[in-house]
Amino acid sequence: MSNIIITGCSSGIGFATAVMLAKNKNVVFATMRHPLQHTELQDIADNKNLPIIILPLDVTDDNSIKNAISQILFYTDKIDVLVNNAGIGTLGSVEELSIEDFIEQMDTNFIGTVRCTKAVLPHMRHKKSGCIINISSVGGRLFNYFNAPYSASKAAVEAFSECLAMEVLPFGIRVAVVEPGVIDTPLQDKCKSQIKETGYPNLQRCVAFFSAARDHHIPPDVVAETILKIVNGESTRFRNPTGPDSLPFLSFRASMSDEDWIAGADIDEETWIAMMEGMHLDVRKYLTRF
């Protein structure tokens, strides 16, 4: 049994992971910005008698993190695992997205991961044990148009995690990265709902891609299962591509040069549609002009 902190548990991957890890006899400190606005996880914990303790934590606020860690160390004298999951996203062109969009995503997805990691490291280093699991994305290794803030933040998570893994290894602390493909979570709706008018017609391809990929209905439980395997020591890999489309996407990108990958942004629509169909994505029905 491990004591596990998870950020971003109000929905999606964090929610599913909290339930799955608790069902497997771990004590879960499930954190989110506004617990009073999201009571479903507490209801499940109560109804199923799961060891889930819900706490407020905003990964963009140092004091919020400090207070949450203090409360957790009141409950227990050992933090075994930190799952840095909290994340946000939006779609759009570099030109049309605001600087605030970039700052907000970097602050939440990357700096939030750094803040929470720094908060638990002194404890883990003193105990000479621990595991830090950072939820990245296929988008942190495969960079696609109209996804610059999110991909940049997840690429930063990838680099940060690899550096961190080498630093903490002598202290018995393990670092692992989880790289989901397209998962059916509320994040997908939030990304698309923010798109307004655009001068970049190919933005429709990005939206169509994510919509078609989401049609495969890959549940967040798939990611939770990967996290459980890492916690249980069943997976000892540093990078853990997760979901049926993650490795195919990464292999597709690795199969071509940087120049060919970039040039693919300018192919004609029918060729692009055929390429997506080759990846079992029915994008045609989603191609509507903005």
Active-site annotation, residues: 10, 136, 150, 154
Helix (H, G, I), strand (E, B) or coil at 106: helix
Residue 141 · residue 155 · CB < 8 Å: yes
Helix (H, G, I), strand (E, B) or coil at 103: helix
C-alpha distances (whole Å) from 246 to each of 120, 152, 163, 208, 286 are: 30, 18, 23, 18, 22
| Cα torsion angle, 276, 277, 283, 287, sign | positive
**Strands (DSSP E) found in 24-157:** 27-32, 52-56, 81-84, 130-135
| Cα torsion angle, 26, 81, 53, 113, sign | negative
**What is the rounded distance in angstroms from the CA atom of residue 288 to the CA atom of residue 202?**
10
C-alpha distances (whole Å) from 105 to each of 25, 90, 97 are: 33, 8, 12
Helix (H, G, I), strand (E, B) or coil at 259: helix
Q: For residue 213, give the amino acid letter.
A: A
